[in-house]
Each structure stands twice: as C-alpha cells, then as structure tokens.
Amino acid sequence: MNILVIGSGGREHALCWKLSQSPLVKKIYCATGNGGTSQVAENVDIDILDNNALAEFAKNAKIDLTVIGPEAPLVNGIVDEFEKNNLPIFGPRKYAAMLEGSKVFSKKILLKNNIPTGRAEIFDNAEKAIEFAKNNSWCRVVKADGLAAGKGVYVCDSEEETIGAIKEIMMDKRFGDAGNKILLEEKLVGEEASFLVFSDGKTVRPMLSTQDHKPVYDNDKGPNTGGMGAYGPAPVVTKEIHEKAMNKIMIPVIEAMAKEGTPYKGVLYGGLMIVDNEPYVIEFNCRFGDPEAQPILMMLKSDLLPIIQSCINGTLEEQEIEFYKGASCCVVLASGGYPVKYEKGKLIEGLDKASDAENVVVFQAGTKKQDNAVYTNGGRVLGVTGRGDSIKQAIDNAYEVVKLINFEKMYYRKDIGAKALSRD
C-alpha cells in the first residue's frame, strides 16, 4: 500500500516510523515532513491546508490511505473532501473534529451528555468576561475557543492573572479569531493524564495512558508549550480510573457524537484531570498528541495499519491491539527561547551516535536536512524516546541518549517522568 502522512512534527515522524514497519506498506509519503521523516518516507512540499492539492496528489500518487497528524487539516475538513473523492483517510470529519476545533462546542457536548467536566461560562465580550471573573473566584482557567497550537489555555492563580489572560486573548488578539469567544472555566486541582482511544464510530479501544509535560521549565513552571515530554503508562491512571475514563467519558462521548449524526472515526484524545480518584475532561483533541504519540507508538506491539483500516471500515471490534510490557519516555529537545522567540538553522550534532542506542529512537520534529547534515527548523526540535522494563529504565534510557546530542542553545526539561517515579 502507498501511504500519505500529513504533518511535519515529531508525531508524524513517529507515525511514518511505525507504519514503515508494516509488511502491508509499500511506500510512504509525508507532507510536508521533516529531516526525520525523510529517513522512512518521501517528503512532498504541499500546503497541508490545501485540501484540493492534497486530494490531487493522493489520486496521482495512487495513495491507498492518508493519515492525518495535526488538528488543523481535520478542522479544515480534509476528511470530508477526501471521502467525496473516494480516497480512504483516517480521522474525524469536520463536524466531529469540532471537539477540538471549538472549546465551546466541546463543552456543550460534555454538559449536554452529563460527562464529567468542570463548570464553565461562555463569553464573546471581554468586558462581560472580566466582570464575571471579578465576581466568581471559581473561574481561574481561560480558554480561547478556537485552535491555538496548544497554547490557548491559561491556568491562573489570581483574579489579576485571569483578567490579564482575558485581555491577551480577546483584546490583544494573541490567537486572532480563535479568541473571539472564550470559556471561563473552573480550575480543577489534581493530576493530569492523557487518555487516547481508537474509534470506528461504534467501538472504542484504549491506548496506553500517558502524561504530558506542558510548561517549558522543570517543576511545571513557565509558559505552556506544545509539550516538553511525555511518558506512559501513567501510574495516576489506575485500573479503576481507566475503567471510569472509558465508561464515564470516552464511550459516552463517542455515543454522543453518533447521536449528533456524525460518528467519530479516528483517534480521540481526552485530556483528563484526576481529582479525588475521579477523572474529569479538561479538553479533547481529535488526533494523536505530540509528544504523546512517541511513547504510545514506541510501545505499540501490533501493526498500526490494520488498526487504522478497521477504524475506517467499522470493524475495530474484530481488531486485537497489543502493547509491549514496560514503559516509554519521550524527552523533547527544544530551541533556546521556545515557546516565545528562538533561532533556526543550528547544526544538530550527535544524531549518528544516538541512532546506535538500543531501545531509543530519536524522533525529529523541527528539523531540516541539508547536504547530509540536520539543522534546527522549529521550536521543538527532537523527541528522544526510550523504552524499558520500568518507567525508571525508560527515563534513564532516554536521558542517556540526550547526552549524546547537541545544538546551540539546546534546552530540555530534566524532570520528565518525575511524577511517575514519585509514585513508586
């Protein structure tokens, strides 16, 4: 089969890497890809928001399956366009992708179906939102309604911070039109976990639970990023919480989307907060997380391709999904200054040595290959992902390989997985 993967991050490198291991795969293309995807796929320079150009390429290159990495093409309706052209594609349709594309839409679905989540109020006027925040101390989370590359959520500690976040989103227009509406939400205090499932619209199958590390600095300090690292399985997701997450959240939301007339097919990612042994939804994403995809795909023992096909064909119930025993940990190496200002074009050294390491894969994200060398080309540059018999071994394996890699102003968190170790 010929496969087209859409996207250019570490998640897409991990998808290409995993799909390349399938005996069913003949050739992989990646639009637009990066230095890492070029090792296992042919990079093609197509605008990932140009549905017509992508569909045209899929026809001409005789693509048998397209796999979407990031959220923007899904919210842009790529699945609807491909289905119109009878081109097999993995991901939810535009309406279903609104679970991520609109925080307001998602919250309404949750409340309508009594799915556990925090209280919230919706505003399209900054002054009214500020007035409400002054009079209601429970709302200390401010969310831009639309897509903001994982950076449109402000978790505040005071009224002053909350008002500042409202102004930044609605008045300063930091995220453009994505901030025309906002949610003021209850601040749930607990431990976060990422809970991803496959769905064919009827059947729901869980993946390995993971835990992301959003803030840029150690001990969860500093501004939020797209994610500085992740590990799985997450010890906070006990067997009991796993069952609650499936039965109270993931299965009900898939059933709710079917009732809305748009069966949800693809990957659904629940960002959960565990409070007093109960999971609550903070947000939904309509695709693999990045960096969560890296440890999940590293631990997936089964061939990914038949799982994807079964989600599209409605036969997920018949599919066996097996994960390796043990754990995996991904440490993101970022450009100094990320997530604000950073420089590109820095030579990355040590990738050859790193590629010889056992049980570790370096997934490339913001990279560019030029004249047999690899240079930085984004904020999050690499995801060093280790596997081991225990979470400690997985963490140690990843950080040992981190030591082999260097580029000017390289930055990474030193505490990825520390929460898991503190539970041992």
Q: Which token pair is 29?
A: 């293309």
Tens digits of residue pLDDT in 131-141: 999 999 999 99
Domain 327-422 CATH superfamily: Phosphoribosylglycinamide synthetase, C-terminal domain (3.90.600.10)
- What does the chain come to in residues? 424
| 221 phi/psi in degrees, rounded to 5 | -105, 160
Q: Which token pair is 363?
A: 């997934």
pLDDT of residue 292: 98
C-alpha–C-alpha distance, residues 109 and 148, integer Å: 20
C-alpha dihedral, 28 to 33 to 37 to 43, nearest 10°: 50
Fold entry, domain 191-318: D-amino Acid Aminotransferase; Chain A, domain 1 (3.30.470)
Which helix (H) or strand (E) is 217 found in, with range? strand 215-217
Determine the average pLDDT of the residues in 197-224: 95
Domain 2-91: CATH class, spelled out: alpha beta
pLDDT of residue 424: 63
Ranges of each domain in the chain: 2-91, 119-186, 191-318, 327-422
Look-up of token digits 């079917």: 258
Please state the pTM of the whole predicted model.
0.95
Tens digits of residue pLDDT in 179-196: 999 999 999 999 999 999
- Pairing verdict, β 191-200 and 153-155: unpaired
Q: Name the pLDDT band for 151 (thresholds 50, 70, 90).
A: confident
Q: Note the CATH number of domain 119-186.
A: 3.30.1490.20
Q: Name the pLDDT band for 422 (thresholds 50, 70, 90).
A: confident
| Residue 403: CB atoms within 10 Å | 11
Range list of β-strands (E), 60-110: 65-68, 89-90
C-alpha–C-alpha distance, residues 209 and 391, integer Å: 13
Tens digits of residue pLDDT in 318-340: 999 999 999 999 999 999 999 99
Q: Over pLDDT 70: what percentage of the chain?
A: 100
